Structure 1
Amino acid sequence: MPPSKFANRNSEDARTRLPSLTGMRFIAAFSVFAIHALLTPVFAEKSLQMFPAPGGTAMLMWQSGFVGVSFFFILSGFVLAWSMRPGAGARSFWRRRFFKIYPNHLLTLVAAIVLFGGVFQMPLDLTTGILNALLVHSFFPQMEIWTSFNSVSWSLSNEAFFYLLFPLLWLAVGRIRPERLWLWAGVVVGVIFAVPPAAALIFPDGPWDPLTRSPYLEFWFTSKFPPVRLLEFVFGMILARIVMTGRKVPLNLGSWTLVTVVVFFVAPYLPLTYPQVAAMVVPLGLLIATGAQADIAGRRTWLAGRPMVWLGEISFAFYMCHLLVLNYGHTLLGGGSWDTPAALGVLAILFLASLAVAWLMYTLVEKPMMRFSRPRRARTAEPAEAAVPVTASSG
């Protein structure tokens, strides 16, 4: 693709729709569903159980949760950089981001309070609830804080931090000379790879967590702490500029799909906390970049088909509601463990229920709120963000 393709960021070509990335979003959301499905004790088969420590198939599913969230963070930086327009103000950006993520967060937070406090009669801490409501809870290493209420919202705490900094980050990333973009991408990846040994030095004597197969504080610092996860977001922003400026991305979508699958199976066996983020960051980032290039070139992929795009559109709502559906649905169905065929049947029912709830949230909450977030004069036009797949964090 010639560099001049994206020389003018104001052109319509520069805002090409990216349906393949929208389809990818649902695969990432489903990978998080898979790990939470195993954390729900539906399987009697030991190789599929997560406690006291993951083994066999369960270990790979545990890896899938890391992959899904990392994908969302990289994609979030990519699509927000991709959708930036000259002269766009920080205030309007923050307004759109607030109405994108907070209504679904508030809805699922209230649902979690009702579910855990009312149905399960669990004690709820007011201070922890306030931290969760303010989306600052992933800054705290205590597991009872960052996993509080609807525990998947820890990733929204990270996303809120990313959004707060994005206007400043864009001032820096937007000024990188095109010929130096790959160099800066490499620098960011290098810092990401330095995080696991740095975490081991910062927290040398922490307690070991058998579930995460790493010292607990190292796990939190590497996989939950927003300033550390910001690196993936910035990597996504730089990759967006690489694609926008027509820089050559090595290999293609199919090749990076294969690399991603291979690294996925290898990653759980790496030392320290490398499996949680660093191992997958390059293949995931280049999977996103080559997916965008395929859409730009007009190469239709199965990811860009109508079913996958629809699933991608509701993926944020699916991500936000699925754990609550799993928890309550498992209890409603008797709270037991079953042999593998029956357990898979139970999970299929809970998956479809999660999709139904996600569709309702998307239709009745997310779309109306995103429409409301636009200036009144623009509400009769097509939404500005319809051109790109806006992610949650997605994880």
Structure 2
Amino acid sequence: MGRFVRVSAAPDALPAMSAPAHPARLGWLDALRGIGAMAVVAEHLLPWFLPDLRPYWFSLGVYGILVFFLVSGYIIPASLERHGDVRAFWVGRFFRLYPLYLSVIVAMLALAWWVPVREAVPRDGSAVAAHATMLLDVVSVGGVADTMWTLSYEMVFYLLVTALFLVGWHGRSAALSMGFAAGAVLVGLAVPGAMLVGGWPVYVSTVVFVAGLACVVSGRLRTTAGCALGLMAMVLLVVSGRVPWLGVAVLAVMFAGTAIHRWERGQGPLWPVAVTAALVGVSPLWAIASGWWWVQADVWLTTIALAAATFAGGMALRGRRVPRVLTWLGLISYSLYLVHHPLLKYFVEISGDLRQRDLPYQLLMAVPALAAVVGLSALTYRYVEKPMQDLGRRLSHRRAGGLQSQGDLGVARQNPCHHRVLGQEEGQVPDGVRDHVGQVDTAG
């Protein structure tokens, strides 16, 4: 796939209720993750196995990652506000994201003698540094696995949400969504691409990232460090991001998800979400950095409309039980997202080029390939993701049980309502859903 065609690839509060929450109440989020993950899998499987079945009137991959980003925006700030503790939030993020991420990197490097690492990955220390922070796409470094680029925007969102929470601006989701959407239009008109590239932006951002998170987690100069990280993330997004307008548009989509959550709680209006959608819809149409098939007006607008309709449909059905297969796919969605592309590469290396073969043979090969993707993803969830999530949860609970710093207690006192966010109802949420509260949705 081309340098930017890979975009088609691809981690606040629920209403207060007096009665216990129905298990399906959050199951719809897992179902959306399952739909998004399988859309991204299909985006990569179809060109290699069933090219004649690939749709071009919308982008399966962009559709999937937009669904992921909406879900992340909807639930990530809720996770932070629920804890009222940025340390617990980041401990949970680390154990949620890094174990599988590092496992995939190690596996791909170990098999590089067979399938070489893609050329977009620099052969120097900048690749190590960029992978360590996950800020790959916003420092213009290719990921070992093609789909890792979306994790950059999840990380930027986490850094921004942390900064906003620490200064008490986390409730301004609607204004933020419209601001980033307008910013996407302006950046598209003015910025042709990454203006700062090379090793030094990667190394500087890595030092700031590590030092800043150390302060945030330890509690020393927490607010200052959090604001510095948020500012760094925004600067990188615009001046060194691979496709600057796209990065800003992604943040608009994520904050739109947060704004929807606040509207659901009666904490804000819904009309800013419509404004955000309209601005994101036009953001690539006159952008300097554009021209790929997935940002043509008809394809881009149709994809956005389908993603919005999917999310709205999930919300409309959130009081009902959803099919178990979708919630299960949502449960393993992070594994699906990271594992599928490398595994498909290895499969094609064995099967050979299938694009010119007859359709029955292509179908015959696509079925075991898909089964291998789902099966391995289930295994990596069971033996890598879940144990590490459980460990992170235990560490976070130990902290909350007796080691909470005075700074954290201050935040909690200032935001007493945050403990109601997925709080008293959380015990009614099935384990599979609770595992995903605040998870990455990458999407894509």
TM-score w.r.t. the length of structure 1 is 0.70
Cα separation, partners in 2 of 1:315 and 1:160, compared to 1, 3 Å: same
**How is 1:1-395 mapped onto 2 (pairs within 5 angstroms)?**
6=15, 8=16, 17-40=25-48, 42=49, 57=54, 59-60=56-57, 63-86=59-82, 88-115=84-111, 117-121=112-116, 125-130=123-128, 131-141=130-140, 145-146=141-142, 148-170=143-165, 174-176=170-172, 185-199=177-191, 220-223=243-246, 225=247, 229-245=250-266, 273=290, 275-276=294-295, 279=301, 280-281=303-304, 284-285=307-308, 287-288=310-311, 291-295=314-318, 298-300=319-321, 304-337=322-355, 338-376=357-395, 378=397, 385-386=434-435, 388=437, 390-395=439-444
1:331 CA displacement: 0.9
| 1:134 positional shift | 3.1
C-alpha change, 1:233 and 1:60, in structure 2 (3 Å) is: same
Deviation at 1:109, TM superposition (A): 0.7
How many angstroms does 1:308 deviate by?
A: 1.0
Cα distance in 2 for partners of 1:10, 1:199 equals 50
- Deviation by residue 1:295-318 (Cα, 9 ceiling, x = unmatched): 1xx234xxx221111111011101
Residue 160 of structure 1 and its aligned partner are, at CA, apart by: 1.9
Residue identity in the other structure for 1:97: R
Amino acid at match of 1:137: L
Q: How far off is 1:68 after superposition?
A: 1.4
Note closer, same or farther for the CA distance 1:108–1:218 as it changes in structure 2 (3 Å cut).
closer
Deviations 1:100-146 (A, max 9, x none): 1111110111111122x2213568723353022431221233xxx32
Rate the CA distance shift 1:241–1:129 in 2: closer, same or farther, 3 A: same
Query: How large is the RMSD of aligned CA atoms in angstroms?
Result: 4.1
- Give me the whole-angstrom Cα distance separating, in 1, the residues matched to 2:80 and 2:306: 24
The alpha carbon displacement at 1:13 in A equals: 5.3
Match of 1:81, SS state, is: helix
The answer to whether the 8 A contact 1:15-1:387 is kept is no
The alignment partner of 2:76 has SS state of helix
Do the aligned partners of 1:240 and 1:289 also contact (CA within 8 Å) in 2? no
Whether the 8 Å contact between 1:25 and 1:391 is mirrored in structure 2 is no
Q: Deviations over 1:342-374 (max 9, x none)?
A: 223322221110001100010001111111002
1:72: how far off?
1.3
Distance 1:25 1:108 in 2: 20
Alignment partners' CA distance in 2, 1:387 and 1:336: 36
5+ residue gaps in structure 2? 1-13, 196-239, 399-426
Tell me: CA distance 1:350–1:128, structure 2 relative to 1, closer, same or farther (3 Å). Answer: farther
- Residue 443 of structure 2 aligns with an amino acid whose one-letter code is S
Instruction: Provide the C-alpha distance between the structure 2 equivalents of 1:290 and 1:174, rounded to a whole number of angstroms.
Output: 26
Count of aligned residue pairs for this structure pair: 336
How many Å separate the matches in 2 of 1:198 and 1:127?
A: 31
Q: Aligned with 1:392: secondary structure?
A: coil
TM-score by length of 2: 0.63
Judged with a 3 Å threshold, the aligned counterparts in structure 2 of structure 1 residues 83 and 121 are, in CA distance, closer, same or farther, namely closer
CA distance in structure 1 between the aligned counterparts of 2:264 and 2:388, rounded to whole angstroms: 30
Alignment deviations for residues 277-326 of structure 1 (CA, whole Å, 9 cap, x no partner): 9735576356435523531xx234xxx22111111101110110000111
Instruction: Letter of the 2:131 partner, please give it.
Output: N
In the TM superposition, residue 31 of structure 1 has moved relative to its aligned partner by: 1.6
2:315 partner amino acid? A
Give deviations 1:232-282, integer Å, cap 9, x for gaps: 2222212211112276769xxxxx9xxx9xxxxx99x96654954973557
Equivalent-residue separation in structure 2 for 1:159 and 1:197 (angstroms): 24
Flag structure 1 segments of 5+ consecutive residues without an equivalent: 49-56, 204-216, 251-255, 261-265
Structure 1 pair 281/198, CA: closer, same or farther in 2 (3 Å)? farther
Q: 1:182 to 1:15 in 2, by over 3 A?
A: farther
Counterpart Cα distance in 2 of 1:293 and 1:30: 21
1:178-207 superposed Cα distances (whole Å, 9 cap, x missing partner): xxx76665555444455543445999xxxx
Identity level (%): 23
